[in-house]
Copies of this chain bind each other. A is one copy, B any other.
Amino acid sequence: MSAFAYDATFGPIVAAIDAEMRAIRAEQRPVAPLLWAIVDYQFGWDLPPDAHAEYQRVTGKKVRSLLMALVAQAVGGDYRPILPAAAALEMLHNFTLIHDDVMDRSVERRHRPAVWTRWGQAQAINVGDGLYALSNIAITRLLRRGVPAHKVVRAVETLSQACLWTCEGQVLDIDFETREHVAPDDYITMIAHKSGTLIEAAARIGALLSTDSEAVVEAYSEFARNLGIAFQIRDDALGIWGEEALTGKSAKSDLRDKKKSYPVLVAFAQATPDDRATLRTLYAREALDDEAIAAVLGILERVGAAAATERIAQGYYERALAALDRTGIENKTQAQIRHLAAFLIERAY
């Protein structure tokens, strides 16, 4: 599925999620106009309509909230009742991005300066906090769509738990940066929480708002949990071997930043004693220069890190698809969910 097919297939749902988010934002009486200006900037709502449409096409895939909508449609036949939850998830995801950029000192987000580089760290922290609060307000709007109150409470609990796990994953990620030894399994635990739990929550909430069958809810959750892990491991591979023109970030930038991503951990675990000593020496440096990057790439090649990474990603992807089959649901939207999963895993950027 190309980016073009993505837009053609999912464009209307993505637009409906964006419209729901804007409606929630429009209901707020601004106390601090600066906070709202920054929220608008984060979602590209500061752009004129034409520019926003292009911004949305290039940067606004809204994968998580789209997945929630598709699951709701596959299970219950209609995604519209769950739009407030999809908007809430998208806001929550963006709050974590704003804070992550502060923590990682990432200067760019969606081809524009990251919030903290324009308004400072303190305001970026504040706006992230405020956006999380707005996400919580958003989800309570499910009541207005006729969702029973006890299901709304369950959606709040599920989304909050996912957010807590995301934070725990981020705590581990930062902690790992300063550890000399990180086992590949610990790394999987980290990404499963940091990146996987919001994707899992997307499918879980989409399902639980649309059916009372716990078996269906669990099968969709397992599908999305495994998909999220596969997606992140593929992302690690792209961070080393991806094409710069497609990924939009400098090729090998993850190596330059000494990111302990999955392929690197495989190398640490499986390299010869000599190669491992070299890795230790290089990763004790402040940053890696071109020569050091070439040395690491050589070691990655000798241990077959690319194939090992591909293999493990493929394993999680297959588990995801098996769980999707176990939902027992077959219809046009379910086929679209398979397309979306394939798009996320096979993407080259």
Contact = CB atoms under 8 A, between A and B. Distances in A.
How many copies of this kind of chain does the complex include? 2
A123 interface: yes
Nearest to A178: B120
A179 to B, nearest CB: 12
A121 to B, nearest CB: 8
A152 interface: yes
B99 A168 contact: no
Q: Is the interface of A mostly helix, strand, loop or mixed?
A: helix
A193 B172 CA distance: 34
Interface stretch (A133-141, A223-231, A236-244, A341-349): A133-141
Interface in A52-102: 95-96, 99, 102
A305 B38 CA distance: 36
Contacts of A139: 156
A122 B174 contact: yes
Interface string A103-125: 10000000000000000011101
Contacts of A126: 99, 103, 167, 170-171, 174
Contacts of A128: 129
Interface string A139-159: 110010000111011101101
Contacts of A95: 129
A162 to B, nearest CB: 8
A292 interface: no
A31 interface: yes
A35 interface: yes
B164 A134 contact: yes
Interface in A186-224: 189, 193
B150 A137 contact: no
Contacts of A125: 99, 102-103, 125
Contacts of A281: none
Contacts of A5: none
Nearest to A165: B31
A50 interface: no
A153 B32 CA distance: 26
A267 B88 CA distance: 44
A3 interface: no
Nearest to A96: B129
Nearest to A193: B31
Given A148-B149, A152-B149, A193-B31, A133 B164 contact: yes
A113 to B, nearest CB: 19
Nearest to A160: B136
A11 interface: no
Contacts of A172: 31-32, 34
A201 to B, nearest CB: 11
Contacts of A185: none
A163 interface: yes
Contacts of A153: 140, 143, 149, 152-153, 156
Given A31-B169, A137-B157, 8 more contacts: A32-B167, A32-B171, A32-B175, A96-B129, A102-B125, A134-B160, A139-B156, A153-B153
18 contacts: A31-B168, A31-B172, A99-B125, A102-B122, A126-B174, A129-B129, A129-B132, A129-B163, A129-B167, A133-B160, A133-B167, A136-B156, A136-B159, A136-B160, A137-B157, A149-B152, A149-B153, A153-B156
